[in-house]
Amino acid sequence: MHRFIIGFLGSLLMGLSSAIAAPVQWTLKNVLFDDGGTASGTFVYDATLNVYSNFNITTTAGGSFGGATYTNYLNSPFGPTLNFITAAGTSSDLGIGGTWIGLSFSSGLSNAGGVVSLAGGQESICTTNPPPGFFCGGAGNATLLRSVVSGAVSAVVPVPAAVWLFGGALGALGMMKRRTHPTA
């Protein structure tokens, strides 16, 4: 019986570790630009594979830009804390007039969720076509429209059911041990 319970607990732990490694949906919180516009929306990040997906970020009008919706990821050459998302309907090779938003995180995102402050960011527009091998802004061919002055991203990772099962199994194991070794 004890071997069964130990095997069961081991299976639960393996299931728990795979549940924690799942991609996480991050939500923009209170993102404000220097011209009074805001940004809101979500994206999914998988820290295990370092893959971003499912972008849906919208910026609102401010004093210097009318806002846009961003749905495409542009591979960032600047590492995991600065990421560029291109406007809906455009490819990753932005041409003249294409807009993009870059978000700089104060620390790396993970699959554990939490809150990560924005260290900065910008919304820009391409003024000339980039040379081959460059993206808009990577070759000095973009105009800054506005900068992010505050905000964060947050993700809530639900406690998997395996945790509750694991706790219940530990309680059952403790009760069984108590029955086999009564106190005097």
Per-residue pLDDT tens for 73-85? 765 555 555 556 6
Quick one: pLDDT band at residue 62, thresholds 50, 70, 90?
Answer: very high
Q: List, for residues 130-163, the tens digit of each pLDDT value.
A: 777 666 666 667 788 999 999 999 998 866 644 5
- Contact of 136 with 123, CB cutoff 8 Å: no
Q: Quick check: is 164 in a domain?
A: no
pTM strictly above 0.75: no
Q: Is residue 12 part of a domain?
A: no
Does the residue 97 lie in any domain?
yes
Question: Is residue 45, in this structure, part of any structural domain at all?
Answer: yes
* 61 occurs within a structural domain: yes
Q: Tell me if 96 is assigned to some domain.
A: yes
What is the number of alpha carbons within 13 Å of residue 137 lying toward its C-beta?
26
Are 167 and 9 in contact, with CB atoms under 8 Å apart? no
Q: Tokens standing for 108? A: 């790396």
- Cα gap 147→36, rounded to integer Å: 10
Does the pLDDT value for residue 127 go beyond 90? no
What percent of the chain has pLDDT above 70? 58
d(CA 41, CA 59): 9
Answer yes or no: are the C-beta atoms of 150 and 28 closer than 8 Å: no
Report yes or no on 38 lying in a domain: yes
Number of separate domains in the chain: 1
The whole domain housing 42 covers: 22-155
In a domain, 57, yes or no: yes
